[in-house]
Amino acid sequence: MIKNADRIYYGGDYNPDQWDEATIDEDMRLFKKAGVNLVTLPVFSWAKLEPEEGVYDFAWLDRLMDKFLENDIKVCLATPTTAQPAWLSRKYPEVLPVDKQGRKRTHGMRVFFCVNSEKYRERAAAIAEKMAKRYRDYPNLVLWHVANEYGTYCYCPTCEAKFRVWLKKRYGTIENLNERWHTCFWGRTVYDFEEIMLPTELNDDYRFNPAVNLDYMRFMTDSTIECFENEAAVLRKYTPDVTIQTNISGHIEKLDQFKMTASPYMDIVAWDNYPAPGADPAFVAYKHDLMRGLKGGESFMMQEQSPNQQNWQPYSKLKRPGEVRMISYQAMAHGSDTCLYFQLRQSIAGEEMYHGALISHAGHEHTRTFRECAQIGQELQRIGDAFIGGQTPAQSAIIFDWDNWWILEFASKRCLPNDDINYLKKVSKFYKALFDRNIPVDMISVDGEFDRYKVIYAPFLYMMKPGLGEKLTAFVEAGGTLVTTTLAGLVDENNRAVFGEYPGALRELLGIWVEESDALKKEERNSIVMRQALLGETVYSCMYQCDIIHPRGAQVLADYGQDFYAGTPCFTVNEYGKGKAYYIGTEPDAPFLGAFTEKLCEELDIRAPYPAEKGVELTRRINGKNEIVFALNHGREEASVDLGTDVFTDLITDRQLTGSVSIAPNDVMVLKKR
C-alpha cells in the first residue's frame, strides 16, 4: 500500500523539461480541471539535473515543486537514472552494455546501461542522494519511482566476472556446478569458474545450454535488484516514510518479478498497463492479477497506461470512446490504488510525439481524450479513498513461475518436444475460464501459501523446484484440489529431467505414469472424448501436445479421439488423502476449460460475487472500512447484475441499488455495500 494515501492518485508522467514557464502554468489549470492530483517526474531528466559530473542544477525543479505545492498536487519523484547523460557514457564507457551478439553498444538509448557497472551505480546513487536530501521535507512527496522499466540484459566483462562470483555462491564448488549443469553432455566440463562464459551468440554451446541460460536470467534478476536497491537504500535513509517502487514494464518476462518485488525496498508493486488495441479484457485482468499476486494480494499501482493511442503499436489505434475509462476502472477493480497515465502532455518531437496524452499538441482541454480523462478524474474525487488498500478475496489460485517460463520459452527452445510455447498465453487460457465466470483468482508463486485456496491450477508446471512436489501433495492430502497438465513435473531447477518415470514428484499424487508425449503442429488437433459428458458435451478439442498416460490408480475421465493412441487416457483424476488431483495430458480448448472450471466451482462451492449477464465483469475489494463491488460492462448491450437483497450505493452516481440492476454498455459501477 502507498503509505498515508488518503485518495486514489490520479495523474501520471509529466516531462516539464520540455516546456516553458507559460505552458507549465497553463498545465496547472488543466490538471485541476482534469482532477489530476499526482504527477510523476522527472523520469528522464538526469542530463538536465547534472549537466557535468558532480555539478547539479535543481533550481528549475525547485520552482516546479513549488507550483505543485501551491496547486495541491502530490509528487511521485523519479530518480532520473534510466537515461544516463552523454558525459557519463563518454567518460566511463564501462556503463554501456554489451548485447547478446557481443557488440559493445554506444550511448543514446534509455534503459541502456549495465546494471552491474560500479560507475553507473555510484553516479546513480549520488544523484538519488542529492534528490532525497533536497526534497526530504517537501510536504507533497508521496512516492519514489526508481529509474524506469528495468530490463536490459548485459553481456560485458563486468557482468561475466560477476556471473562467475554469483555461480560460485550458488554452487559452492566447480564439481557441484558441473553436476547441476550436467556438463558431461557434449564434453562441457569446466575446471575453474574462470572458464565460464556468458551465453552470448558468440558461443553456440552456451547459448543453447538451457541450464546456463536459466542461471544467466536469474543472475540478471539479482543484478537488477542490486542496482535498484543501490538507489532505494539511499532514498530510504533520508525519507523513511515515503513509499518506494520501480515501474514494471509490460514486458514482464525479462526479470523474475516475484523476486524483484520481494526486495525489502519495494514497498508496492507498480506496473505499466499497455493492452494492445482490442485486447481481450480477460488478458488485461490476468496481468493485473499477476501483478497483484506479486506481493501476495496487496494492492498495487497502475503506474502507466495511455489515455489514448500507443505510438509503438504497429497501428496507433485510437482508444474507442469510453475505453480509457473502462481500463482505468478495470485496474482499480483488480487491486490498483492509482490510475496514472503516460503522459500528461504530448511531446512535440521524438519517438513518442504521437503517443496519447491527457493534453495533446492542440494544447487545450477541448479534446475527446481530455474530456474522457477529466470525467474519470472527477469521479475519482467523489470516490475518494473508498477502496484504498482493498483486497480481493479468492478461493482459486493459479501458479505462475518465472523460472518455469524461462526454461520453457527462452532458455531451452531446442530441447522441448514442441517449440510452440507461449507460457503467458497458455496459462491465460485457464485464467480466462475463471474470468468469464467472474470467479476471483489469485495468481501465486510456487512459494505462495497454498492452504488459503480450495483449488490450485498449475498449468504447464514443467519445473519442479525442490520441495514443490511435496508441497502440492500436502495441499491435496489436506483436502485441496489440484489441476495440472502436460509438461508438469518433468525437470528440476537446473532443467535436469526427472530420473525414472514421468511425471516424477507428481506421479504418486496424480496416480499416473506418462510414458511419452506426442508434439502436435500448430494447426493439428486431437480430441478429448469424455467418458461421461461434461456439461452436456462429450467431445472437446485439444492441441499442442498429447501425453500417453498409464493410469496407476487414477480414474480416467476422458480418452483421445485420434491417432495411434486413440482410446487411451488423456484426462484423469486421482483421489489422494482428502483431496483430488486432476491431470490434463494435453492443452484443452476453451470450451473444455470453461465446462471443467464450471463443474469444479460447483463441486467446491466457489461462486462469483453476484450472478451477472454475459459481458459484465464483477470483482470485489474489501478494506477495513468498505466492501466495494466493481461492475464493468464490456459488452455492447445493456446487461444486468443481480444484487439479491443486498443494498449498495453506486459511488459514481450516488444511486441506491438493490435487486436486479442494469448497466449500460461500456459503463462502470463502483458499488459500496451498505
Residues lying near ligand GLA in the complex (CB under 6 A) are found at 148-149, 272, 274, 304, 306, 310, 342, 352, 355
Q: Are strands 141-145 and 243-245 parallel, antiparallel or unpaired?
A: parallel
Is position 587 annotated as part of the catalytic site?
no
SS3 100: coil
Taking the CB of residue 392, how many other CB atoms lie within 10 A of it? 23
Candidates 231, 304, 372, 587; catalytic one: 304
Question: Residue 452: what are its φ and ψ, rounded to 5°?
Answer: -70, -10
Beta strands in 447-497 (DSSP E): 455-458, 481-485
Q: How far apart are CA 71 and CA 31, in angstroms?
A: 9
Provide the grid cell at 529: 472424448
SS3 218: helix
Whichever of 13 and 493 has its CB closer to ligand GLA, that residue is 13
Whichever of 215 and 304 has its CB closer to ligand GLA, that residue is 304
- Tell me the closest approach of the beta carbon of residue 350 to Zn ion, in angstroms: 27
Q: What pairs with residue 571 in β-bridges?
A: 558, 584
Is position 149 annotated as part of the catalytic site?
yes
Q: Helix 368-383 and helix 21-34: axis angle, to 10°?
A: 60
Q: How far apart are CA 253 and CA 266, in angstroms?
A: 19
SS3 75: strand
Residues that bind Zn ion (CB under 5 A): 114, 116, 154, 156, 158-159
Please report, for the chain, how many H helices and E strands are present, in that order: 18, 25
SS3 342: coil
Which partner in Zn ion, ligand GLA, none is near 83 (CB below 5 to 8 A by kind)? none
Residue with the three cell numbers 557481443: 102
Provide the grid cell at 607: 461462486
Length of the chain: 674
Q: How far apart are CA 102 and CA 154, in angstroms?
A: 9
Residue with the three cell numbers 557497472: 117
Whichever of 115 and 455 has its CB closer to Zn ion, that residue is 115
SS3 328: helix
Residue with the three cell numbers 546494471: 115
The answer to whether 426 touches 221, Cβ cutoff 8 Å, is no
Residue with the three cell numbers 464490456: 634
Cis before residue 97, ω within 30 degrees of 0? no
Distances (CA, A) of 319 to 325, 358, 616: 10, 13, 20
Rg of the chain on CA atoms, in Å: 26
Whichever of 308 and 473 has its CB closer to ligand GLA, that residue is 308
- Tell me the closest approach of the beta carbon of residue 227 to Zn ion, in angstroms: 10
Q: By Cβ distance, which residue is nearest to ligand GLA?
A: 272
The answer to whether 529 touches 560, Cβ cutoff 8 Å, is yes
- Tell me the closest approach of the beta carbon of residue 375 to ligand GLA, in angstroms: 22
- Tell me the closest approach of the beta carbon of residue 12 to ligand GLA, in angstroms: 10
Active site residues: 149, 304
